[in-house]
Amino acid sequence: MQALRRRRRPVTGAVLAEETGVSLRSLYRDIETLKSMGAAIDGEAGLGFQLRADYFMPPLMFSDEELEALVLGLRTLMQGPDREMARTALDARSKISAVLPPERRGEMESVGLFAVPPYNLMMNNPLADIRRAMREERQVRLGYRDKKGEVTGRTVYPVALGYFENHQSLVAWCTLRQDFRTFRIDGMQSMEVLAERMPEPRRTLLFRWRTANNVPDLP
């Protein structure tokens, strides 16, 4: 189930068998068993298998490694520059902790992995507003200072945000340059989310940017 949950596209039985370390015959038998238990798995031998997107499976018990990865990821967000995301991570940690068995809850609190805050945390940074513009597929107006120190006005279609150790960057379609451009958040002198929507879906722009720059499809 975990191997199927990680994928958004059909995957062949041979690939699943190799990944899980079982024979192809055993894999097919396991898939039939999961189906009989109510798992919404589409596909068949020779064509590939996929877990339906609307299928809900009760959360599994976390392994020690999964719990450590989860805690470190949440702590990293909580120490990051996006303060709204930090609050969301704190809320998520509380919800996860509430549904864990008492002994696992204690282990979650005592995980000895910590994230160090970035060196240049910006006060009142626009990350939350940019994420909102991305969700709502709104155009954004920037006053941007380039490497030469010149400030220009740009209308952009926000596509993706990159969170790096010492800075954050916005990938966007720039209407001035008629191409994808990367804008450092600390170079933004002003930022306004406009009422106008993007002329095409953000996911289409994201696909075009990934294709143009050979960026792999992330899980």
pLDDT digits (tens, 9 = 90+) for 90-144: 999 988 888 788 888 888 888 888 877 665 555 567 898 999 999 999 999 999 9
Please give the single-letter amino acid code of residue 110. S
Of 219, 202, 190, 218, nearest in space to 135 by CA: 202
Residue 219 lies in a domain: no
Identify whether residues 102 and 154 lie together within a single domain.
no
**From residue 202, how far is each of 14, 117, 145, 211 by CA, in Å?**
34, 30, 25, 14
Indicate whether 56 belongs to any domain: no
> Is residue 121 one of the residues assigned to a domain?
no
Does one domain contain both 46 and 73?
no
The answer to whether residues 203 and 136 belong to one domain is yes
Query: Phi then psi for 67, rounded to 5 degrees?
Result: -65, -40
Number of domains, the chain: 3
Distance CA 13, CA 31 (A): 10
* Tokens 């902790």 sit on residue: 97
Q: Which domain holds residue 86?
A: 64-109
From the CB of residue 3, how many other CB atoms can be counted at a distance below 10 Å? Answer: 15
Q: Rounded to whole angstroms, how far apart are CA atoms 211 and 206?
A: 9
pLDDT digit string (tens) for 3-18?
Answer: 787 777 888 888 888 8
Residue 150 lies in a domain: yes
| d(C-alpha 122, C-alpha 79), whole Å | 12
Q: What is the pLDDT of residues 131-152, one digit of tens each?
A: 999 999 999 999 999 888 999 9
Judge whether 117 lies within some domain.
Answer: no
Q: What average pLDDT does this structure show over 51-71? A: 75
